[in-house]
Amino acid sequence: MHMADALISPAVGGLMWGATAVTTVYCARKVREEIDEAAVPLMGVTGAFIFAAQMLNFSIPGTGSSGHLGGGLILAALLGPHAAFLVMLSVLVVQALFFADGGLLALGASSFNLGFFPAFVAFPFIYRAIVGNKPTPRRVLVGSVAGAVVGLQLGAFGVVAQTTLSGVSELPFTAFMLMMQPIHLAIGVVEGLITAGVITFVLRTQPDILSRVTSGRPLAGIVARPVLTVLLGAALVSGTALAWFASADPDGLDWAIERVAGTTEITGAAADAHEAAAGVQARTSFLPDYGFPTANEDDGDGAWPAVDAGTSTAGIVGGVITLGVTALIGVMLRRRPKGRTQPAPDTV
């Protein structure tokens, strides 16, 4: 659900930028109170993992559409909601600036849809309510699927509402919603299964991470090397080789737009803000659409898997940048109050 600027008016875009900015400040303050040294590398690695995982579009059978992992629920389960929002925001900023994935004017809306709803609605009210303080694989599965579905349904409706309020496209509210919600229900189920797989791995490898996050306790004393190693390896493999096997079908948002408007190319009343955002993105996106610019111009053979050095380069570069940005945020926000006794490590 990386929204294009053509869907958003400057007023709605600015409003959502404001909402995201307020949420970011709030989360930064909370993370400063909660974060410790053990959480910093986990923020960086999970950020790189989500960046790479979002490159892997999976087909939705019988629809001609595809979806990709949002990852907000995974981040919330491993980091807590406040750090999860900051990491998701970092991923989306890197994607928009350097890979032209999602518009800059719409970045506030995309961050809210993909970050706020999973972290602050789906995680505390759905996932945590089902999984509880003593997670089991069965509870994780049910909580992950239910949480992912709810988070994506809210995010999809957010896209519809923001587009309708903007009034710059000719997408009728009812028709758009009737396309967006069902396709993201299917995507949400797949995301839930993937989320359950990742969280179950952590549960079996280092369950103390999940119990600490669920109960709101710091990760101090936990050596998360096994989880960090596997997630970093998964990010590397996903961003370099598995990305070649991503579905070429339009994602859920583009699919819904095409079903309603007959085309994925939405044109609206362009404003100065649209042109300014497009100009910035044109200058900063050195690997647009996750590939070398010259290669993208000639990419029309429809080969699958789409073996491409540009895609692999984008996966590596984007993962490294995201890891660096998210880890840097953790380092900058980390605070060790004097006289504070760190809790002893949990027994695994």
Indicate whether 339 pLDDT > 90.
no
Per residue, what are the HEC states of the chain? CCCCHHHCCHHHHHHHHHHHHHHHHHHHHHHHHHCCCCHHHHHHHHHHHHHHHCCCCEEECCCCEEECCCCHHHHHHHHCHHHHHHHHHHHHHHHHHHHCCCCCCCHHHHHHHHHHHHHHHHHHHHHHHHHCCCCCHHHHHHHHHHHHHHHHHHHHHHHHHHHHHHCCCCCCHHHHHHHHHHHHHHHHHHHHHHHHHHHHHHHHHCHHHHHHHHCCCCCCCCCCHHHHHHHHHHHHHHHHCHHHHCCCCCEHHHHHHHHHHCCCCCCCCCCHHHHHHHHHHHHHCCCHHHCCHHHHHHCCCCCCCCCCHHHHHHHHHHHHHHHHHHHHHHHHHCCCCCCCCCCCCCCC
Cβ atoms of 109 and 162 closer than 8 Å? yes
User: How do residues 45-99 score in pLDDT, each as one tens digit?
Assistant: 999 999 999 999 999 999 999 999 999 999 999 999 999 999 999 999 999 999 9
Q: Which residues pair with 59 in a beta bridge?
A: 66
User: How do residues 296-329 score in pLDDT, each as one tens digit?
Assistant: 555 545 678 889 999 999 999 999 999 999 999 9
The CATH number of the structural domain formed by 5-333 is 1.10.1760.20
Backbone φ, ψ for residue 180 (5° rounding): -70, -45
> What is the mean pLDDT of the segment spanning 172-178?
97
Q: Is 170 exposed, middle or buried (0-12, 13-18, 19+ CB in 10 A)?
A: exposed
Contacts of 70 (CB under 8 A, 6+ apart): 1, 54, 114, 118, 148, 151, 152, 155, 191
Indicate whether 343 pLDDT > 70.
no
- pLDDT (0 to 100) of residue 295: 55
Backbone φ, ψ for residue 59 (5° rounding): -75, 145
Q: Using CA atoms, how far apart are residues 92 and 322, in angstroms rounded to an integer?
A: 9
296 or 220, greater pLDDT: 220
Find where tokens 């919600």 sit: 181
> What is the mean pLDDT of the segment spanning 173-181?
98
Average pLDDT, rounded, for the chain: 92
Cβ atoms of 227 and 203 closer than 8 Å? no
pTM: 0.94
User: Which tokens hold the place of 331?
Assistant: 């380092």
Q: Using CA atoms, how far apart are residues 274 and 271, in angstroms rounded to an integer?
A: 5
215 or 296, greater pLDDT: 215
User: How do residues 114-172 score in pLDDT, each as one tens digit?
Assistant: 999 999 999 999 999 999 988 999 999 999 999 999 999 999 999 999 999 999 988 99
- pLDDT (0 to 100) of residue 345: 53
Confidence grade of residue 36 (pLDDT, cut at 50, 70, 90)? confident
Nearest to 113 by CA among 80, 77, 152, 79: 152
User: How do residues 256-278 score in pLDDT, each as one tens digit?
Assistant: 999 999 988 876 667 889 999 99
Confidence grade of residue 340 (pLDDT, cut at 50, 70, 90)? very low
Q: Which residues pair with 345 in a beta bridge?
A: none
What are the sequence ranges of the domains in the chain? 5-333
Indicate whether 348 pLDDT > 80.
no
- pLDDT (0 to 100) of residue 297: 52
Confidence grade of residue 195 (pLDDT, cut at 50, 70, 90)? very high
Indicate whether 347 pLDDT > 50.
no
Q: Which residues pair with 58 in a beta bridge?
A: 67
Which own/partner contact pairs does 236-240 have at CB distance under 8 Å and 24+ positions apart? 236/52, 236/316, 236/319, 238/49, 238/52, 238/53, 238/55, 238/56, 238/315, 239/51, 239/52, 239/55, 239/312, 239/314, 239/315, 239/316, 239/318, 239/319, 240/312, 240/315, 240/316
